[in-house]
């Protein structure tokens, strides 16, 4: 445990009064479907953590029953721990001034450069960026006071002179430059966002950004969590994810306690430059199991529970303890493919699978009809209506079978396609709440003679570890493409993109990105984005699936909560949010 104050945020004996009813505890243990088969995984920067992994095996595996029994034993151990925490936190245990937030994950570490931590830090009010996005999608200053595009390649930012870090150090031009350059040095996604951009100190509170090429996308890029402003001098020259004393950010809340992959406790910071939220403390909890999160939501034990499974939506709607917050995001969940190894080094296989997937069935069965099918990567973005007219616009298993036949993948007597003695099969990795999706896809591909092994976990680490080792064939992830399209497209399909997991590269795609870099007008950039989207479909770099539904439960005791309107990370415990 990491703590900045001994004994702070401890639960008093009074918190154990008025506990959850006994039958709820029993129900939790029986109904949860969490499985936990810990495996060691080395993640970036030599951080080792346990990741629960589930394998959905086919009936042909003779030890399936034995595996299920083992999983059930592990479930009881995990759920007992979760239930004990729920009992500690009763609705009447002095929660009037504390905001309890339950999520599938919390920040992995305390350093904004540490694997996706900054996204969660922005949500909960620890970190801030220079720019942000308001409810109608307009980019506005946050830590910046103002932004001005001087010419196509040059922009200037004036900073708020009353903003400081938690330590009291000023958030001046030198500090912001040091923060951004540290992020560029230590986090490849940050480097991609500011690729070809030089940062200059133009005064005590003024910065100048000079691009090697036009930078119309810069304001939106500066909203990205990877560019969260932090005190570089305090964090030091390397990733410093677990030193609570080094953590020095600018948000309205500051850290009191942090237990990695378990919980964090925050308190209001008196020195905050802006309007403070109404809650003096925040308890931010990580509960990886989706079913356990659903039970917590329905019990009313938390103010907000995020990333709920789709089947929970109807129950939340019917509850008088919580209200449903639901939104279909601007972004696309896709099947990412390892183009460097079989079977996805064969384009015919990639295309056939694209046509063999019934996206409407996936949305109906795995998302309770709440998600939105995607025919191409940009098709879920309302700014590109023509993108919905291309791609895998229909379910066509006959076409899929014909493509495989012509490519030599012939259906055998065992119902499995094979070519040159090699069966057509692969592993499919899921994470979060995507297990039902994986199972529907498994069934659909079996119909055309492609058996797949489904492997996954509520923890994102199972994907992270597989990609790091190179030992994977297909996985599911979802990414947003709201705002200027250059950065998300470049990260996904550019030659050196950090999300170009399949390592795709062609001269044609390189030429399109070269045009993109020089394009200034929004109309011209939009046209190039559509061309890139068409090439992604033609070469089947990935297989688009759907736009995810974001499902959350918010306590009925709250007033003023609004689910952010875009797939972006912004402060959610706003000054408008209060207890009724």
Ordered DSSP codes for 86-136: HHHS-TTSS-TTEEEEEES---SSSSTTSTTHHHHHHHHTS---SEEE-TT
DSSP 8-state assignment for residue 11? P
Average pLDDT (3-19) is 31
- Is residue 261 pLDDT above 60, yes or no? yes
Q: Tell me the torsion sign for CA atoms 132, 254, 160, 199.
A: negative
pLDDT at 567: 56
Cβ within 8 Å of residue 394, ≥6 positions away = none
Crossing angle for the helix pair 64-88 and 290-299, to the nearest 10 degrees: 30
Counting residues of the chain whose pLDDT is more than 70, the rounded percentage is: 82
Residue among 322, 232, 353, 287 at smallest CA distance from 104: 287
- Is residue 73 pLDDT above 70, yes or no? no
Residue 477's DSSP bridge partners are 334
10 vs 556 pLDDT, higher one: 556
- Report the chain's terminal Cα–Cα distance, integer Å: 34
pLDDT by residue (tens digit) across 219-231? 989 999 999 999 9
580 vs 79 pLDDT, higher one: 580
The region of weakest confidence among 48-57, 261-270, 275-284, 363-372 is 48-57
Burial, 332: exposed, middle or buried (Cβ in 10 Å; 0-12, 13-18, 19+)?
A: buried
Cβ within 8 Å of residue 60, ≥6 positions away = none
Please give the biggest Cα pair distance in the chain.
75
- Is residue 86 pLDDT above 60, yes or no? no
pLDDT at 438: 96
List of domains in the chain: 2-9+20-111+244-328+551-579 (3.40.190.10), 127-235 (3.90.76.10), 331-547 (3.10.105.10)
Q: Provide the pLDDT confidence category of residue 568 given band limits of 50, 70 and 90.
A: low
Average pLDDT (510-536) is 92
Average pLDDT (290-297) is 94
Cβ within 8 Å of residue 119, ≥6 positions away = 107, 225, 569
Q: Where are the beta strands (DSSP E) in 368-464?
A: 372-373, 410-411, 417-419, 422-423, 426-431, 452-457
- Is residue 91 pLDDT above 70, yes or no? no
- Is residue 352 pLDDT above 80, yes or no? yes
3-state secondary structure (DSSP) of residue 239: coil
- Is residue 8 pLDDT above 80, yes or no? no
Cβ within 8 Å of residue 398, ≥6 positions away = none
547 vs 52 pLDDT, higher one: 547
Contact 573, 554 (CB under 8 A): no
35 vs 311 pLDDT, higher one: 311
Residue among 177, 218, 181 at smallest CA distance from 200: 177
Residue among 372, 304, 363, 315 at smallest CA distance from 104: 304
Residue among 321, 242, 239, 230 at smallest CA distance from 4: 242
Crossing angle for the helix pair 507-518 and 486-493, to the nearest 10 degrees: 160
pLDDT at 308: 94
């Amino acid at each position: 445990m990491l703590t900045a104050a001994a004994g702070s945020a401890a639960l008093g004996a009074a918190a154990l009064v008025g506990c959850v009813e006994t039958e709820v505890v029993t129900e939790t243990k029986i109904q949860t479907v969490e499985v936990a088969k810990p495996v060691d995984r080395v993640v970036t920067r030599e951080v080792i953590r346990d990741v629960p992994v589930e394998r959905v095996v086919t009936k042909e595996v003779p030890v399936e029953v034995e595996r299920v029994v083992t999983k059930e034993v592990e479930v009881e151990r995990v759920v007992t721990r979760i239930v004990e925490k729920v009992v500690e936190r009763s609705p009447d245990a002095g929660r009037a001034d504390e905001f309890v937030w339950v999520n599938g994950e919390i920040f992995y570490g305390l350093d904004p450069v540490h694997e996706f931590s900054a996204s969660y830090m922005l949500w909960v009010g620890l970190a801030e960026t220079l720019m942000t996005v308001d409810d109608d999608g307009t980019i506005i200053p946050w830590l910046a006071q103002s932004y001005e595009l001087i010419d196509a390649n040059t922009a200037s930012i004036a900073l708020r002179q009353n903003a400081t870090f938690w330590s009291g150090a000023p958030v001046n031009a030198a500090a912001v430059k040091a923060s951004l350059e540290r992020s560029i040095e230590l986090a490849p996604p940050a480097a991609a966002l500011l690729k070809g951009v030089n940062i200059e100190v133009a005064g005590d509170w003024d910065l100048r950004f000079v691009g090697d090429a036009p930078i119309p996308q810069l304001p939106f890029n500066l909203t990205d969590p990877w560019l969260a402003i932090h005190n570089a001098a305090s964090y030091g020259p390397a990733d410093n994810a677990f030193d609570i004393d080094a953590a020095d950010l600018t948000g309205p809340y500051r850290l009191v306690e942090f237990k990695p992959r378990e919980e964090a406790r925050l308190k209001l910071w008196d020195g905050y430059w802006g309007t403070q939220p109404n809650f003096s403390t925040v308890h931010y909890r990580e509960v990886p199991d989706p079913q356990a999160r659903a039970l917590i939501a329905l019990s009313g034990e938390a103010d907000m529970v995020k990333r709920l499974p789709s089947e929970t939506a109807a129950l939340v709607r019917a509850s008088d303890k919580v209200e449903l917050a639901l939104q279909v995001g601007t972004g696309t969940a896709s099947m990412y493919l390892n183009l460097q190894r079989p079977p996805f080094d064969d384009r015919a296989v990639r295309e056939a699978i694209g046509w063999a997937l019934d996206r409407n069935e996936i949305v109906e069965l795995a998302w309770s009809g709440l998600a939105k099918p995607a025919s191409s990567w940009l098709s879920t973005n309302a700014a590109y209506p023509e993108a919905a007219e291309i791609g895998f616009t229909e379910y066509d298993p006959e076409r899929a079978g014909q493509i495989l036949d012509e490519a030599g993948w012939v259906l055998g007597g065992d119902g499995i396609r094979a070519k040159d003695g090699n069966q057509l099969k692969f592993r499919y990795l899921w994470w979060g709440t995507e297990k039902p999706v994986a199972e529907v896809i498994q069934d659909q591909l079996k119909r055309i003679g492609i058996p797949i092994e489904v492997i996954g976990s509520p923890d994102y680490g199972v994907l992270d570890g597989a990609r790091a080792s190179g030992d994977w064939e297909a996985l599911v992830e979802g990414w947003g493409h709201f705002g200027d399209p250059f950065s998300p497209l470049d990260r996904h399909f550019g030659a050196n993109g950090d999300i170009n997991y399949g390592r795709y590269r062609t001269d044609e795609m390189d030429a399109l990105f070269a045009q993109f870099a020089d394009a200034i007008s929004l109309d011209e950039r939009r046209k190039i984005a559509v061309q890139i989207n068409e090439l992604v479909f033609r070469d089947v770099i990935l297989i688009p699936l759907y736009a995810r539904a974001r499902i959350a439960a918010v306590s009925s005791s709250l007033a003023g909560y609004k689910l952010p309107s875009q797939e972006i990370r912004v402060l959610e415990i706003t000054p408008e949010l209060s207890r009724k």
